[in-house]
Amino acid sequence: MIKDLNKDNNSCAAWIVKFLLERKVKYIFGLQGGHIQPIWDYCYKLGIEIIDVRDEKAAVHMAQAYNYFTGKIGVAMVTAGPGVTNTVTGVANAFLSNSSILLIGGCTPMPQSNMGPLQDIPHVDILRPITNYSRTARVPEQLIRELDLAFSYAIGHIGDPGPSYFEVPTDILRESVEEKLILKEWMIEKKKYEIYPNAQDISEAVKTIQKAKKPILITGRGASNDREQVLNFINKFKIPYLDTQDSRGLIPHSNPNNIFAARSRAMSEADLVILVGRKLDYQLAFGSPAVFKSAKFIRISDSPSELTDNRRGHPEILSKPGEALKQISNKLTKFNFDNLWISDLRKFHKEKLKKAQHKNIPKLGDDNKINPNLIFQVLNKKIKENFIGIADGGDILSFARIGLNSQYYLDSGVFGCLGVGIPYAIAASKVFKKKKVICVTGDGSFGFNALELDTAVKNSSNICVIISNNGGWNIEKHDQRLNYGNRVYATDLSHSDYAALARSLGAFGVRVEKPERLEEAIIKALENTPSVVDVVTSATIMSSDALKGLGFVRKYQALDVWDDMELEYRKN
């Protein structure tokens, strides 16, 4: 007999969904369970689309990508116990990326607390170290006030942006709350605070720039909404520009100030680094004077944590990055940059590019399998930059950072989190409905969330997944071979037929074992999304990260060359 036990439009579950609608939430990424069914049902009744996944971690990855590509909060919802614990890696990844996500979790009814109920575990304690906010809402009339607070923590009203975790016992979800007890101020849409720079900081920044001869500007995640202001600034003053993993695509590679091929030289020779929306973590050698030999830093961000780590700024400007750059630009009327150095840096960059372009790329490795560089050669030839590029993996990520030249780009990030590729791509396809979304992934990283192809098929996601199938955890295999006496152990994978897996799930799948078939296969896959191109690639062609020793984990720095510089610096 069919019953309807979820008819109270003033239930806490109903209020949660009405709150999310007020906040313009269009999608929730999640996996259903009994503890959250009252909310899930109201999403159906009130019209929030749920993208239901095969694993909860993927839901959080999707929420993170949605936040990255839209600037809006990403919302995920999961059930109690394993539902919540399965999200831990995804939440940690979002936390380290300062991503605004709201994770709604289920938990056991209050009368069953501490009695050994189904799926009972201290979710809040588990997630507290990797969230801005982690709470159980137990008082019905205060539930929306607490949800409003969780939302504020997530979007950065109380510190850096980052994940919030909010859970409600199932019995509380069914409690009714009168409308007069839900204050309108808790419900109405909240936006990120706009922080404007201190005039004294702007003046100090101008003075610092005026003293510089060899400035460079480096961006990170925090500059993602300030493309126009960054572009205007570097173009006006002809300042050499470098991106990082989380700001790829912000400034086109074709811009003459983007000297990405001269990265090491620019970092070593600059006397001033204008760092915009970026931490000085391992990807920037922690700002070490061993690598940035003569540099002072100006640090600009609307997140305090991106102003003070490892190296202090002269000044440190807490502000909307675009607004700070605009004000500096207006006041910077005199400067004395070394134009010869800038010109020589650009020339060096162009020569490196020209050399790389004219370099003969062998089609096969020593094992007679396809060179992974050919994947990017085909993409650059056929679709240029007009697509969304997602990169996922260890070894293949190194190739992708050089070869995947897309207008919008997202990868495994500072956490090095494998398995993000397909979830990120599915979320991107919800945002960019008329653009191609291309995910290039390794065979190892593909395995983490391979079954999300099922989610892609259900949602008719316009995604093409290209797998570099080299039969192993390749960056680790090279490390074992080069640094551990060639004892290659437990790092092999089978060259499994992932195209057949894709077809079994209802996606288009094609396997490529010959280089001359690669271009045709990719074109056909782009026309028949969701799709998988399973490219059997060579394990003998070393990526730049493998060559630089990333797998070895050196003492002071991530890369061999930087670690050697650090050792030399400490000696002298």
Distance CA 159, CA 166 (A): 18
At 215-271, the pLDDT tens digits run 999 999 999 889 999 999 999 999 999 999 889 889 988 899 999 999 999 999 999
Q: Which residues does residue 103 pair with via DSSP β-bridges, in sequence order?
A: 76, 165
Distance CA 311, CA 296 (A): 9
Torsion of CA 117, 121, 125, 127, to 10 degrees: -130
Position 5 scores a pLDDT of 85
Which residues 6+ apart lie within 8 Å of 374 measured at CB?
A: 361, 363, 515, 518
Distance CA 557, CA 284 (A): 10
Nearest to 452, CA basis, from 510, 397, 392: 392
* Token code pair at residue 101: 């996500």
> Is 568 considered catalytic here?
no
The amino acid that residue 306 corresponds to is: E
Helix-, strand-, coil-residue percentages of the chain, each rounded to 5: 45, 15, 40
Which residue, chain included where needed, has tokens 């960059």?
349
Contact 283, 327 (CB under 8 A): no
Position 386 scores a pLDDT of 81
Which pTM value belongs to this model?
0.95
**Residue 223 Cα distances to 68, 242, 249, 279, 428, angstroms:** 11, 12, 11, 12, 19
Burial of 120 (0-12, 13-18, 19+ CB in 10 A): middle
Which residue, chain included where needed, has tokens 């940035």?
292
Distance CA 199, CA 376 (A): 46
Question: Which residue ranges in the chain fall short of pLDDT 50?
Answer: none
| SS3 label, residue 10 | coil
For 194-305, strand residue ranges (E) read: 215-219, 241-242, 272-276, 296-301
* Token code pair at residue 526: 């782009």
Distance CA 201, CA 324 (A): 9
Candidate list 189, 476, 566, 568, residue with the active-site label: 476
Average pLDDT over all residues of the chain? 94
At 118-163, the pLDDT tens digits run 888 899 999 999 999 999 999 999 999 999 999 999 999 999 999 9
